[in-house]
A and B are shown apart, each in its own frame.
Chain A
């Protein structure tokens, strides 16, 4: 349940979903519905769109987990029907006292032998599923470090090249990619529900997992371990790409930044330099060399900004720079509310242009 709750936090407020509106409307009715509907609403919300849903598996591991879920659910339904049926039978149809022999057989058989057999069977079925998530990758290794509240991402190719990125994961379809997960300060948990299970990130440790997408698509990942004020605002976009497209993207991601040419972007680049943004952010190929915040060399080509919380658009970038502390409480990035709106939009044009 707690995982479902966490997931409900992570739902992008911009997602449109009929169930949300209907649920809200019905939840206003007084009485029993008020108590019953919120949990249902959460379940309904979590299923919306399926961008961040374990029930919409796009990865080999997620398919296993979804199957496990349905098997468990089916078993639970059967058991519930059996127990309820038995209850009704002994209270309504066969109310006479049971012989001692029958009663003992029922307690030992139904209370010990039957559950032990069922649980042993489930264990034998489910335990091997954990092994695949820890399988070695096919070559590509993605190092992800949890930060307050964003993701430092480094792709390591089989040839040993390292490509620095942030707040987005791209993976080749049909290949198993290894993940090496760690963090510096706080415990986080790395979770892409559509691709597989989650793995905690623990300071001073490197946890290993692997994922294998089987279809292309764009999904959402989310930190799944409470890590402070902006835990719910620590998300990322995931794109599973055809292998050739992924190779091309990684080659491009490895290149230095290409300075955008528009007049607004050029003004933005000058403001970026003058405000000292490069003390915390790297834009490879420029004087910006900092490592405190996300690498921005190709920020313009990402699906989102602010670690999965805003669309990657000029206006949104300007809003983010102006009001970081409102949009992501306690974030390390200071807000540049001393800049004019024009200057902020110029910065937006520059960063959006870094593709």
Chain B
């Protein structure tokens, strides 16, 4: 018995010395060119597949992926953040991208056998030791846009989203990049993307800084705000702020709009009166707080949910809005978003 134990101890010590030598003396070859030993790719890939299946959200958590604008927004982000590795449906991957180990799949192959919920998990969490990054923000709502885009790619109906090629002569640097999603005049056609023409320049600069510093979470905007050189942010904000925001409101369900107006104008014993900070009305003295009249309802709903449930970050006054939103019911959020969207920008 003693003999057996001593043998086992000696073997364990030998194993530790061997492992230490591999790590400490650099004996393992990490060369991507050298590749893996036989069987290792199968082990790694199976581990990956099973891990994704175990952790992906349930069927019930998948939103309506055919919502207007969703796949387009996903395409816009994909175009900016993902094409380097995965290319577009019409282009091939660069030789650099295909030199990665493991080799990233071409966008038309990314779906493999995955269902939308699996794709969401991969986009949200990223994959260790594969080069696939995690989504820049912890919030789970945004990756669905890219999932929607990938589903359109799978169906062969990928939306064609690209930066505008014709720009005004006085356009600031990087306007084309922003205009991919926000349009040159700041009025996005996609309801998930906020209208910028109704916002104040200083407010937008502060929001962009918050994205850049990681204080306000958004995979789309943290990527965008770090892709553009910092000095350009204020110029871009000024460009969008200078756009003419005139025009009619976006309309909305009449009963919802009416309920939203009452809540926003009067507040309750638990909910502040929105109009005091966010208009409509004469409020030039409140540049730190965004005007909301004419804003997309979908965008407003998302933001209010983030404020209430996830403690959304923002400028120096973000804590005010966290408290303001803490007692909103889902129905309040729907009503407020509908009313603000129905208003003409800058109207009263």
Contact = CB atoms under 8 A, between A and B. Distances in A.
> Do A and B bind?
yes
Interface of A: 147, 152, 184, 270, 273-276, 278-280, 287-292, 332-336, 338
A273 B285 CA distance: 8
Given A289-B267, A291-B268, A292-B271, A338 B317 contact: yes
Contacts of A291: 266-269, 273
B61 interface: no
Contacts of A336: 320
Contacts, number: 62
A265 B323 CA distance: 27
Interface in B281-334: 285-286, 288-289, 316-317, 319-320, 322-324, 326
Indicate the member of B272, B285, B316, B323 with the most A CB atoms within 10 Å.
B272
A27 B271 CA distance: 48
B33 to A, nearest CB: 54
B285 A276 contact: no
A134 to B, nearest CB: 27
B316 A288 contact: no
A314 B165 CA distance: 59
Given A289-B266, A290-B267, A291-B268, A279 B319 contact: no
Interface string B261-276: 0000011111111101
B323 A333 contact: yes
A275 B286 CA distance: 7
Contacts of B317: 275, 338
Interface residues of B, number: 23
A-B interface, 3 closest residue pairs, ranked by CB to CB distance from nearest = A279-B272, A276-B277, A279-B276
| Most chain B CB neighbours (cut-off 10 Å) among A273, A275, A288, A335 | A275
19 contacts: A152-B269, A273-B285, A273-B286, A275-B317, A276-B272, A276-B286, A276-B289, A279-B272, A279-B274, A279-B277, A288-B276, A290-B267, A292-B270, A292-B271, A292-B272, A332-B326, A334-B322, A335-B319, A336-B320
A275 B288 CA distance: 8
Contacts of B319: 334-335
Nearest to A288: B276
B289 A334 contact: no
Contacts of B320: 275-276, 334, 336
A270 B285 CA distance: 8
A279 B269 contact: no
A323 to B, nearest CB: 13
Given A290-B267, A292-B269, A292-B271, A274 B286 contact: yes
A292 B266 CA distance: 11
Contacts of B266: 289, 291
Nearest to A184: B269
B179 to A, nearest CB: 32
Contacts of B277: 276, 279
Given A273-B285, A276-B277, A334 B267 contact: no
Given A184-B269, A273-B285, A274-B286, A290 B323 contact: no
Interface in B69-104: none
A322 to B, nearest CB: 13
B264 to A, nearest CB: 10
A221 to B, nearest CB: 21
B239 to A, nearest CB: 25
Given A273-B285, A280-B324, 19 more contacts: A147-B269, A184-B269, A270-B285, A273-B286, A274-B285, A274-B286, A275-B317, A276-B289, A278-B276, A279-B267, A279-B276, A279-B277, A290-B267, A290-B272, A292-B267, A292-B269, A292-B270, A334-B320, A338-B316
